Amino acid sequence: MRAPKQPILHQDKLKVPEKYLRFATPGVVAVYRADKLKCARLVEIGAGIGGQTFAFAKVCKKVLAVESDKSSANILIQNLKKLKIENVEVLVADALSKNAIEKIKNFQPEIIFCDTERAEKGERTLESIKPSIKKLLETFSLITSKIAIEIPPFTKTENFDYNFEREFISLNNQLNRLTLYFNELKQSDISAISLPDREKIINQPKSKISKISNPEFLYVISPAIIVAGLLPELSSKFSASVLELNKPVLVSDKKINSNFLTGYKILTTCKNEQKEILQNLKNIGAERFRGGEDGAEQAGSRVGKIVLRYNIEPKDYWKVRNFYENQLSGNKEISLFTDDKNDKAILAEKF
């Protein structure tokens, strides 16, 4: 799942039709990537309306922005004028056309970055990506070995026989981008970066998953870590265990501060059966409810909202949720996780 739509750089100063913003690079991603690819001369293939271009223009001396779609290119040109950006040249052409290749060669770029097209539907494979990644590499490796290519995050790359790093970007704890960095741009085999804080985890082949017997805290893991296959590295970094629920979660006996994680305090566990869960929910509310020294009721301490954080058919979600909430009062929100393998329910409170 992609992160909710985020504004592009300078969006408040520009009038861009909504349809062009759907796949535009969020500002925080654009700034991070520009910092990483900072150089004197850079070619951007698939510049679109300029979401990434504006960031490149700020850190590079000269940028050649290549865009094959005339409508997008016209918006890009107008945007550059409005923002008074003068170090970007726009080339309206197919990047793999003879004229474009010659133009890019003469530009003498240090780095070439390509944002590939995203198919609306169908399986996302390397072969279906446009422009062709293999053709891009075959053509532009003769100009520079420093090439970075953005592709859809769930594209399989295991059988791609090139020297590159896969970097998964987590934006506000959701998988947002996958960038391939080739040759000298490669820093590791696989990495995940969280934005906006720029916390990074890289693959460490010798990393092992830790074991915690009596966890007090549960953490929902950013999809970027899961898709990247970096669970052992995450577990090792924080000395925490991975628990397989409907999706892997991290469990620990201490609080962890990481933007790859959303934290919950485990309040209790019980048998994964509705009556047992309901009774435990009432117990949680009652214990908190009677917490005053004189036994007086404490407003807002009762459990009243239940969020189901396990796989359930959409048609059944509110039926089950209402079963619990109709028998509870208050406004405290509890999350319900289920460990089907061990027939357990985990009641936890987000912190």
Q: Which residues contact 81 (CB under 8 A, 6 or more apart)?
A: none
Residue 23 pLDDT > 70, yes or no?
yes
Tens digit of pLDDT for each residue in 195-213? 999 999 999 988 888 888 8
Strand order in the sheet with 88-92: 88-92, 62-67, 41-45, 111-115, 147-151, 174-182, 164-171, 190-195, 199-202
DSSP-based three-state secondary structure for 314: helix
Q: Parallel, antiparallel, or unpaired: how do β-strands 41-45 and 111-115 relate?
A: parallel
DSSP-based three-state secondary structure for 250: strand
> In the chain, what are the domain boundaries?
11-200, 203-351
Going by pLDDT thresholds of 50, 70 and 90, the confidence category of residue 291 is very low
CATH topology of domain 203-351: VC0802-like (3.30.2130)
Contact, 211 vs 251, CB < 8 A? no
Q: Parallel, antiparallel, or unpaired: how do β-strands 190-195 and 164-171 relate?
A: parallel
Tokens representing 40 are 């004197």
Going by pLDDT thresholds of 50, 70 and 90, the confidence category of residue 54 is very high
Provide the CB-side half-sphere exposure for 210 (13 A, CA).
Answer: 18
> Quick one: how many helices (H) and strands (E) in the chain?
10, 16
Which of these ranges, 241-250, 259-268, 284-293, has the smallest mean pLDDT?
A: 284-293
pLDDT at 290: 47
DSSP 47-68: -TTSTTHHHHHHHSSEEEEEE-
Q: Rounded mean pLDDT of 42-68?
A: 97
Provide the CB-side half-sphere exposure for 324 (13 A, CA).
Answer: 28
161 or 166, greater pLDDT = 166
CA 297-300-305 angle, 5° bins? 125
96 or 330, greater pLDDT = 96
Rounded CA separation 219/1 (Å): 18
Rounded CA separation 229/70 (Å): 39
pLDDT at 212: 83
Contact, 190 vs 200, CB < 8 A? no
Domain 11-200 has CATH 3.40.50.150: yes
Residue 137 pLDDT > 70, yes or no?
yes
Rounded CA separation 179/168 (Å): 7
Q: Which residues contact 173 (CB under 8 A, 6 or more apart)?
A: 3, 194, 222, 259, 260, 261, 262
Residue 144 pLDDT > 60, yes or no?
yes
Residue 288 pLDDT > 60, yes or no?
no
Q: What's the predicted TM-score (pTM) here? A: 0.88
What are the two backbone dihedrals, phi and then psi, of residue 119, each rounded to the nearest 5 degrees? Answer: -70, 140
Tens digit of pLDDT for each residue in 312-348? 999 999 999 999 999 998 889 999 999 999 999 999 9
pLDDT at 119: 64
pLDDT at 4: 46
* Residue carrying structure tokens 């061990």: 342
DSSP 173-209: TEEEEEEEEEGGG--SSEEEEEETTTEEEE--TT---
